[in-house]
Structure 1
Amino acid sequence: MCTAREKEAISAYFKLLEKKGAKSGMLYKRSLFLDQFIPLLKNQPLERSSYSKAIERIIKTIPADIWHDSLNTAREFYPFWMQDIKSIAAFSRQGGFDIQPLKWQPQPTSLKVLTDALKTAKFDATESRHLSAYKQALMDKGANQQLLDNRLNLAKILLLQLKGSPTDDARIYRVAVDVTLPLFKIDENKQLFLLVIREFYQYWIDNPDNNLGSDQGIEVTFID
């Protein structure tokens, strides 16, 4: 059962979505997710870690083909649950509410399949340029060979997931990340993947001037 705080957060969230033009079908899908998600937040402190743990729990129970939609709803709902009016306003200004979601998703796969594919994977000129720029930035920071190999392989896994995508904006990147992240079952590897995708994003959009590790323009997940 929802508490008054959660009911207020849900009401404010859906009012904003409706104001932005969200259709009834989209609102219904989000409500289905929140019906499952909200009970996991019951009596939890208003902390990012509590929210992240709830996401970790629910993502294990839902089909892979709705991982992105579910994580996207959780991402959007977070500032409402936190009662953070400034973040809601900033998120709204930056186009953070996905009213017209992309239909594209990477094909269903496993981490083993993706890892095995790295042995023979070929990357086009643009992808290779992004990888080279990321590698150089890591080397400039003093990365050793093992660190380079690990991080570049994770960036390559994401690029494999992005192959065939219809565009190259932040939304596509988020879709690929959201679909790939739950494939990592070991928490340490999941954390490293999150670090890499935040670092690599600026090189993927050809905007390395924001510096290594900057995640300006993209909030990919709330699973820390």
Structure 2
Amino acid sequence: MTIQEREQKALDAYLRLIRGKGASVANLARRKTLLERALPQLSGQTADGLAYREVIDEALLHTPREDWPFFLAVTREYYYFWVDDFKAIAALNSSDGFVMEAAAAYVRNEESFKQIWKRLDDEKFGVAEMWPLKAYKAALREAGAEKSVMETREKLVKLLLIDLREVEDKNGKTYRVAVDALQPLFVMKETRYLFLAVVREFYYFWIGDPDAASHILLE
């Protein structure tokens, strides 16, 4: 399949902006290569988030896991160019929201992931890490979550908290980078979707949003 005019124009505009932010030739080439995995399948699709997500999810399955973090970051950024959301593009640009370098992916085999999962029970977390987690658990309990649901979500959050320990700036960009780096750990799509649902909920507790509990969705 070939890349159609709408997708090509969006690609050209995206790469032009990234080039203006100082991206190297190699960096631009990698972005272009990753996006070209999905752009032909976007041809004729309705310009909305659901159609886009379905195409990206399918392309992700055919992308090497070590490329997942950068692929996810790049496709997330490209989306705003694809739907002509100029306000979102301007907001990303003014807030330094574009990811200029890829995060290192966590690519491990199934056995090592099981070991990591088991070790989470013994991992020690500081007060600053536990505060948002305890608030999240309390909100889950208030929403009627069963014990098994809470335990699974707690472990998924702990997995993320370990990766967030090195974060200096507590903002949406650094949070997304950490989430993207962890996604290659999840072989099954259903488990990855659960992880994404959990980290979307937990984000509001992590930043201390007083209305964080309103983002709990037990589905």
What residue in structure 2 maps to residue 79 of structure 1?
A: 80
**Aligned partner of 2:143: which letter?**
K
Aligned residue number for residue 19 of structure 1: 20
- Which residue among 125, 149, 152 is the counterpart of 1:150? 152
Residue segments in structure 1 that go unaligned for 5+ positions in a row: 216-224
TM-score (normalised: structure 2): 0.81
Which stretch of the first structure deviates more once superposed, 45-54 or 2-11? 45-54
Q: CA RMSD in A?
A: 2.6
Task: For residue 104 of structure 2, give the secondary structure of its aligned residue in structure 1.
Answer: coil
1:118-137 equivalent positions in 2, closer than 5 A:
118-137=120-139
Deviation at 1:183, TM superposition (A): 3.1
Output the CA distance in 2 between the equivalents of 1:6 and 1:167: 36
Query: Could you tell me how far 1:72 is from its partner in structure 2?
Result: 0.5
Shift of residue 114 of structure 1?
A: 2.9
SS at match of 1:209: coil
Within 5 Å, give how 1:49-128 maps onto structure 2: 49-99=50-100, 101=101, 105=104, 107-109=106-108, 110=110, 111-128=113-130
Going from structure 1 to structure 2, the CA distance change for 1:50 and 1:34 (only over 3 Å counts) comes to same
- Segments of 5+ residues of structure 2 without an aligned counterpart are none
Q: Give the CA deviation at 1:38.
A: 1.3
**Cα gap change, 1:191 to 1:108, in 2 (>3 Å):** closer
Deviations 1:63-119 (A, max 9, x none): 2222111111000000111222333233333432223x3x65364335433322223
1:221 corresponds to: none
Alignment coverage as a number of residue pairs? 211
- Specify the code of the residue in structure 1 equivalent to 2:114: K
Tell me the CA shift for residue 126 of structure 1: 2.3
1:189 aligns with 2:188: no
